[in-house]
Structure 1
Amino acid sequence: MPVFPKERFIDAVEQVVKANAAWVPPYGSGATLYLRPYMFGSNAVIGVKPADEYQFRILTTPVGPYFKGGAKPITIRVSDYDRAAPCGTGNIKAGLNYAMSLHAIVDAHKQGFDENMYLDPKTRTKVEETGGANFIFVTKDGKVVTPKSDSILPSITRRSLIYVAKEYLGLEAEEREVYFDEVKDFAECGLCGTAAVISPVGKINDHGKEICFPSGMEKMGPVIQKLYDTLTGIQMGRIEAPKGWIHVIE
């Protein structure tokens, strides 16, 4: 697919938001106007080959607060399925990556789990991500750690949280390979993405063996809570944002 020009992208977002201004939820409600830009091949071809014509569109809808009554930690399982292939498209925002995780998430829900933890498909020793979110860990001495892999989607939320950890909270933060064997030694765990910002993880089930984080199953851990409060504070205008983070639409 060709790269959609930045200027046209910003203009499209502005037009969509203005056209749906009546649907922007009240400030402070916790609800938001969710935007989903997407692009697809649209020329008339039945063969298996790249398209010559593409369409860019933006879907928008108001969504309620992601966490109603507080963010309760979730329970996830280590999946036997793979989300992406080595040297594949795992680092691309493509629909096929989400499709790869659908059967696995349905199966996880049937087993009573909220999400899947995918390990690297080549060695199955390193943490990758879930079907739609990146992992973020906190060590017992307060360092923020996120997995690094060529098959992980480079999340803007994860990048923002790393910046917040370093520049706003004065924490040490690093992106590196995270081996599954070390997960049991972390103090906190969360999943980060656009909609929830951070969803706390309280427990990981590894084929019947449980890893329980010290932060517990009742609330976010202290460091993840600070990260969440700071980033959402920037988004809501309560905390001064870094230059270029906020785009005002008149």
Structure 2
Amino acid sequence: MLSWLKPSPLLTESEQQWLLDAFLWAFEHFDADYFRNHSRLVQPSNEFFQGQSSSTEQMAAQVFAQVKAHSGLLNWPIQLLGPGQMPEQQFPLMRFSGALRGEQAHCVEHSHAIFVSYNPQQINQPQDLIASYAQAFARIMIYQRGVLPPGGEAMIGAATEVVASFFGFGVMLSNTVYQFRGGCGKCYNPYANRASELSEQQHVFLLALFCFIKGEKQGTAHLKGHLRSYYKKAHKVISTLANHSPNPMLLSLLSKEQV
């Protein structure tokens, strides 16, 4: 009778389960050691994105290099090309020694470089640019590993966003699902918006999961105001999972990675 007074859940059970399964899949296949020891929550701040630029091309290149470094892919043969310069490309054969990510990752064999481009409309929306690069790098890593996400090939688009969040870019991914048009709409540029298959709630859940595992206390510092209530709900759900989940791998990740 009073069920209408109960707060609505952040996600459906099936949504939550897929996100958990996909995050565990990322942990299993995309260098768990790097995640444990080096991954950080990347914020849209001068601490993570430094330098000044005098042109669209220079800014795009700076952000590309910084996102690549924060992803742990600095030693991967990934190069930036300008808009309209992208060739048709086949994914190269690559072989690594030491690790997949970080300074210990050494690409000992690759047939050719992988090229990434950017949307120049996003230069004035840097969080969209950062998130788009992170998604591109995530997709490259998925294809390099050759492992399908939970749900198979149909879920690769959504899985790239999970892996990008696993890299530490959950704040920017959450903030750029939806861009407010503004009072008069003059500053709104639909061509600059990032394409997202996951909802704001789903992204915030992944962000809260990353922060919970890493013991990160600044998950909402740069998060859009209306997303913070989602974050609180997600953190509460994840705290419950840490005590009651029947999944031993998830329990291990939630309990042993606390800082």
Q: State whether TM-score is above 0.5.
A: no
TM-score where L is the length of structure 1 = 0.31
Structure 1 or 2: more strand by fraction = 1
